[in-house]
Amino acid sequence: MAHSIVPPYLLARIAETDSASMQRAASAARRSLRSEPAVRAERRREGLAAPLPTASAPAGATLKRTIADAANTELLPGLVVRTEGAPPSDDPAVNEAYDGLGATHALLLSAFGRNSVDGHGLPLDATVHYGDDYDNAFWDGARMVFGDGDGEVFNRFTASLSVIGHELAHGVTQYTAALVYEGQSGALNESFSDVVGALVEQHARGQRADDASWLIGEGLFTAQVEGKALRSMVAPGTAYDDDVLGRDPQPADMAGYVETRDDNGGVHLNSGIPNRAFALAAIELGGFAWERAGRVWYDVISGGVLSDASVSASGGAGSNEGGGANGRIGTSEHGGAGVSSGSGPARLGTRATFAEFADATVVSAKALYGDGSAEAAAIEAAWVTVGVRSDDRAAAG
Amino acid sequence: MTEQQQDDRDGDVADRGPALHERGSEAAPRGAMRITVSRSGGVAGLAPRWSVTVTEEKDVDSWLSLVESCPWDAPDPAGEAEPDRFVYTIRVLQPDHERDARVPERALDGPWAELVDRVKHASR
- What's the whole-model pTM score? 0.79
> Does the A65-159 domain belong in CATH 3.10.170.10?
yes
Residue A346 or residue A113, greater confidence: A113
To the nearest whole number, what is the mean pLDDT of chain B? 79
Residues of A with catalytic function: 167, 268
How many of the other CB atoms lie within 10 Å of CB of A118?
18
**A303 neighbors A324 (Cβ within 8 angstroms):** yes
Cα separation of B42 and B44, whole Å?
5
- pLDDT digits over A233-291, tens only? 999 999 999 999 999 999 999 999 999 988 999 999 999 999 999 999 999 999 999 99
Cα separation of A222 and A224, whole Å?
5
A contact residues 257-296, partner B, Cβ 8 Å cutoff: 262-264, 268-269
**A267 neighbors A29 (Cβ within 8 angstroms):** no
The distance of B113 to chain A (nearest Cα, Å) reads 6
A73 close to B (CB below 8 A): no
B contact residues 22-41, partner A, Cβ 8 Å cutoff: 36, 38, 40-41
pLDDT at position A173 over 50: yes
B15 close to A (CB below 8 A): no
Any bridge partners for residue A128, and if so which? A69
Chain A contact set for B13 (CB, 8 A) = 19, 21-22
The percent of chain B in helix, strand and coil, each rounded to the nearest 5, is: 35, 25, 40
Q: Do B43 and A244 touch (CB under 8 A)?
A: no
B118 close to A (CB below 8 A): no
pLDDT at position A178 over 90: yes
Measured between CA atoms, the residue of chain B closest to residue A186 is B83
User: Looking at the partner chain, which of B83, B87, B100 has a beta carbon nearest the beta carbon of A139?
Assistant: B83
CA A57 from centroid of its chain's CA atoms: 20
CB pairs under 8 A between A and B: 164
Q: Do B76 and A17 touch (CB under 8 A)?
A: no
Cα separation of B39 and B90, whole Å?
9
Write down the H helix ranges in B36-101: 57-68
- pLDDT digits over A15-37, tens only? 222 223 223 222 222 222 222 22
For chain A, what are the domain ranges?
Answer: 65-159, 178-397
Q: Do B38 and A22 touch (CB under 8 A)?
A: yes
CATH second-level architecture of A178-397?
Orthogonal Bundle (1.10)
Sequential DSSP letters for A147-180 = E---SSSB--GGG-HHHHHHHHHHHHHHHTT---
Give the confidence band of A75 by pLDDT, cuts at 50, 70, 90: very high
A12 close to B (CB below 8 A): yes
Q: Do B41 and A224 touch (CB under 8 A)?
A: no
How many of the other CB atoms lie within 10 Å of CB of A20?
15
pLDDT at position B21 over 70: no
Q: Do A264 and B6 touch (CB under 8 A)?
A: no
Give this complex's ipTM.
0.76
- pLDDT digits over B56-89, tens only? 888 899 999 999 999 998 877 777 789 999 999 9
